[in-house]
Amino acid sequence: MKVIAIIPARGGSKRLPKKNILPLAGKPLLAHSIEQARAAQSVSRTIVTTDSDEIAAIARDFGAEVVRRPATLADDTATSESALAHALQTLKESEGYVPDLVVFLQCTSPIRCATDIDMAVQMFSIQKADSLLSVCRTHTFLWRRGPDGAESVNYDYRNRRRTQDMPEEFVENGSIYVFKPWVLEKFNNRLGGTIALFEMGFWAAWQIDTQDDFDFCEWVMERHPTASSSVL
């Protein structure tokens, strides 16, 4: 199969300026996802889509191909789906290239390894899925504010269970998405059709949005080098 990894990395970031190229564990944040994708046996091409000259140069330095996207697809309101669709359309128009599968990697979820990507693609095939997302198991008791006060969401506080007796629940960790191109075309979404879950370990649940997230992920990556091991 033709499996392409696409990594969106725009230049603008309000909460953490230049987040995608800040040094994390000795290299730019973006570089971790590029290296993981290039080391995955299932991935045949690795593309970074960006509006930034600086990011494009770093992406090429670490061995990725670059698709330049317009500023209108890289502002605060632009979706990841718009960047993915633009990259796929650009490759189709310029090369006639249409992949069988797309692996979408967010560089803000760097705690993964190449084997995670390969196992996700394998799980996708085994499950006969149309799309897949990576998740981490959770036993969290969730609440929300309602019109009449606080409400328990995923359990009945009047009949509290032990966490080990809770039904299986998972949190989307943002690390790996796999989908057939038609899913994005039909639903304008990374997910659709038959959706599979790919479970990853506890440490892989963390994403980078703030400086605290950044510092924590760096601590994990430096002290737990196998933290991204998937759960099978």
Residue 170 contacts residue 197 (beta carbons within 8 Å): yes
> Which of 38, 160, 162, 190 is flagged as catalytic?
160
CA 192 to chain centre: 16
Rounded to whole angstroms, the Cα distance separating 133 from 173 reads: 8
Rounded to whole angstroms, the Cα distance separating 113 from 111 reads: 7
Residue 113 contacts residue 176 (beta carbons within 8 Å): no
Burial (0-12, 13-18, 19+ Cβ within 10 Å), 178: buried
- Residue 201: phi and psi, rounded to 5, are -75, 170
Residue 133 contacts residue 191 (beta carbons within 8 Å): yes
| 137 included as an active-site residue | no
Please choose, from the candidates 39, 169, 174, the residue with its C-alpha nearest in 3D space to the C-alpha of residue 113. 39
What six digits make up the tokens of 128? Answer: 């006969």
What six digits make up the tokens of 69? Answer: 């996207």
Q: List the catalytic residues.
A: 160
